[in-house]
């Protein structure tokens, strides 16, 4: 799964990396992005690549009572075509979720140990996402998204059996293309990234609390848990 991630890049870096033409969000460095928060996502609107702020945790447009709805932070790639909450979004409302890296927790005898996972050259990542738009009776619009997950690759498997879908750059525009609505073309993109793409290291348990959101969270911690993980610094 993916329950926390980071994004601390400038507007210029994001614009150059993803070809963003319109920005509807102010950027600030984030080192502990959590569900229900509003964060930047990349969408294709009228053939323009836009950066907007959506709430993390998809609420389907057909939900009647928002208070009773459970935000869906992750969507399994294997069941996107089956789940009513995701089927329409897969065809019509896809997004990229830009990130520097993400956190995952490994179960150990001493408890859950948090790890920070990132691209080996510290390049920006693009998670595959889907979004939806919910309106209340007064017409107020709530835009929400979910990060798509897939089975873990070899480097992630010792931590968790799931991981976010990290799209290669050559697949990003296809994923955003509004004219692509055939699942047969889209689903093959939703596979684990190559094992060698990612590196990881153990970090402080401070990341467990959303009240902490600073650069120290991604610094390596030598907690000597005796873990032998691929890509471990």
Q: Which residues are catalytic?
A: 2, 104
Closest by CA to 172, choosing from 49, 6, 9, is: 49
Query: What is the distance between the alpha carbons of residues 230 and 233, in angstroms, rounded to a whole number?
Result: 9
Long-range own/partner contacts, residues 156-161 (CB < 8 A, 24 or more apart): 156/104, 156/117, 156/192, 156/198, 158/106, 158/227, 158/228, 158/229, 158/230, 159/104, 159/105, 159/106, 159/115, 159/117, 159/200, 159/229, 160/1, 160/104, 160/105, 160/106
Residue with tokens 């595959």: 128
Closest by CA to 5, choosing from 161, 133, 114, is: 114
DSSP lists the bridge partners of residue 78 as: none
Exposure b/e, 11-37, CB count within 10 A at least 16 = b: eeebbebbebeeeeeebeebbbbbbee
Closest by CA to 193, choosing from 218, 162, 219, is: 162
């Amino acid at each position: 799964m993916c329950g926390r991630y980071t994004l601390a890049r400038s507007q210029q870096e994001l614009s150059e990396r993803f070809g963003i033409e319109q920005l509807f969000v102010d950027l600030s460095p984030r080192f502990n992005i959590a569900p229900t928060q509003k964060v930047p996502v990349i969408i294709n609107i009228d053939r323009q690549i836009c950066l907007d702020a959506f709430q993390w945790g998809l609420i389907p447009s057909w939900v009647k009572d928002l208070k009773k709805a459970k935000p869906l932070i992750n969507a399994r790639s294997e069941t996107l075509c089956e789940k009513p909450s995701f089927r329409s979004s897969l065809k019509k409302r896809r997004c990229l979720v830009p990130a520097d890296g993400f956190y995952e927790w490994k179960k150990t005898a001493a408890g859950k140990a948090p790890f920070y996972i990132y691209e080996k050259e510290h390049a920006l990542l693009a998670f595959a996402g889907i979004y939806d738009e919910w309106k209340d009776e007064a017409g107020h619009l709530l835009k929400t998204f979910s990060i798509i997950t897939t089975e873990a690759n070899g480097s992630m498997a010792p931590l968790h059996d799931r991981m976010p879908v990290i799209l290669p750059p050559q697949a990003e525009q296809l994923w955003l293309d509004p004219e692509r609505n055939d699942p047969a073309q889209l689903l093959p993109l939703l596979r684990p990234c190559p094992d060698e793409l990612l590196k990881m290291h153990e970090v402080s348990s401070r990341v467990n609390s959303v009240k902490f959101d600073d650069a120290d969270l991604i610094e390596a911690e030598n907690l000597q848990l005796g873990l032998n993980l691929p890509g471990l610094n």
